Structure 1
Amino acid sequence: MTSLANPASWLAGYMTDLPTPFDADAELDLDAFATLCERQIDAGASAIIVGETAGEASTLTTAEKDRLIRCAVETAQGRARVIAGAGSNSTDRAIELTMRAERAGADAVLSVVPYYNKPMQAGIAAHFRAIAASTTLPVILHDIPARTVRPLADETISLLAQSRQFVGLKDGTGDVSRPTRLSSLVPPGFRLLSGDDVTAFGFIASGGHGCISLVSNIAPDVCRRIFSNLKQGRLQSARQLHRRLGPLEACLSNDVPAALKYALSLLGLMHPNTRLPIVELDEADKAQVARALAGVTDDDSIEAAQA
């Protein structure tokens, strides 16, 4: 557990939003999950995200969330940070999940704007402050108005960022201009992270610090090369690599997490099983994912893009 020990040093680059593998009986497949964690760590991930959007958090029991976090922590053994999804539209529930994540060994929590309730900005701020007061862990804010209806306003982010316990933002708005706007409103150590693979290139190029990503489940090495090239100012190389990921990013973003699970199953890493109300892809969508995946796993093409 890292508490508040300089999360800005590791909260950057491409960090993977891991899916939750299920077996044929719809139970957690922790062996497959540990394999997914290890694959990201071997690729140099600074952090992995557990039990969040790709992890089908809304259909996981509290005990299952605990088991996933503990599995990730035990697998990582300090080699990467573990960020636990701990959001809810009930403040009391979000506090409970946050406290349990801390006890399970998480290094930080990712907490989403309360969905469905449609709180005003003052209510959103109070919600996050109550969560922060319940834990010593760093809190990463998650703004995704397509799912929550209410946005997290720039002014609210600026207000919350005055507390060093709020260490970053996962931005799911797709607004690539946001890093430019927010950079002068938040402390230097506050990390601005894209939550949308499709627009992550522009977000990082505009001053963002990284991406909490779906596609990095598939191609972690490529994603890290894109980030490195962007930070070194090698825009053409970064753009060429990112272009290779475009069709797969589109597939993954259309059907979260069914498309991701199917792609990983094609790589032999897990079963594609989901939980209702998410169902597996139909045959046409499976074929589309397979075509997009073939383009990304073509090593010769990727090596040419690096040159």
Structure 2
Amino acid sequence: MRYVHFMYQGQATLGVRTEAGVRVLGHEPLEALLKRGVDLATYGAEAAGPVVEVGEHDYLPLLREPGKIVCVGLNYADHTKESPYAQPDYPTLFPRFNSSLIGHNQPLVRPKVSDTLDYEGEMAVVLKSGGRHIAKADALKHVAGYALFNEGSVREYQFKSPQWTVGKNFDDTGAFGPDLVTADELPEGGKGLLLQTKVNGKVVQSVNTSDMLFDVATIISTLSQAVTLGAGDVIVSGTPAGVGFGMNPKVYLKAGDVVEVSIEGIGSLVNPVVDEA
């Protein structure tokens, strides 16, 4: 089942994709369904709302008010090699704020204060449940589904201090969507899928999700040692080599560029780049 969040008749609306279009479910956000313990596959299959066509610019970030958004850095060895860091033996975790999120076809905004906006194509994991001290063997039972994420990073600000948080949280730099694909429709743990990022149609990142150093189950289990996870939390699982920062000379995004992140079996997330007004 594929869930989407979009504007319809002036309201934020949840729907599921069908062969005929998107079937309207109503205005209850996806995270509310997850917190109620709704089985997404069954709920979407039994939906009886109208089928509509979603306008190109009507998509919203998948979750209206996600719980925690936790990103994983340096989770592909090839990306670590192009960074100024040694490969860690523990997941590099940092937060992303809801205020940074945008939807499919919405613009990534290059901020006034820096010209170092960079792309990071990633697979996002949305949780349907959680807890503390989750065993790795049980971790995937807590996954509702998988989605696309472009973890836009303002590199100048990311590297101003040892903590990356500011550079990872500029407004309108985190693209999320358009579809949440339920876990039953993808390989266990989202493994074995081709992830690619294109800038202006050119492939700049290409990797198999099986190459993650810390897989989804490991990340969930490790994070839960410290943090109580819950329904509607999001884990952004890391980006491979090929970012603009790693090129020589460095190549950053500019107004007029178009970034597309795709993952086999999940779809494509497209965002144009604009300068902050």
> Normalised by the size of structure 1, how large is the TM-score?
0.23
Structure with more contact order per residue of length (Cα contacts < 8 Å, sep ≥ 6): 2
More helix by share: 1
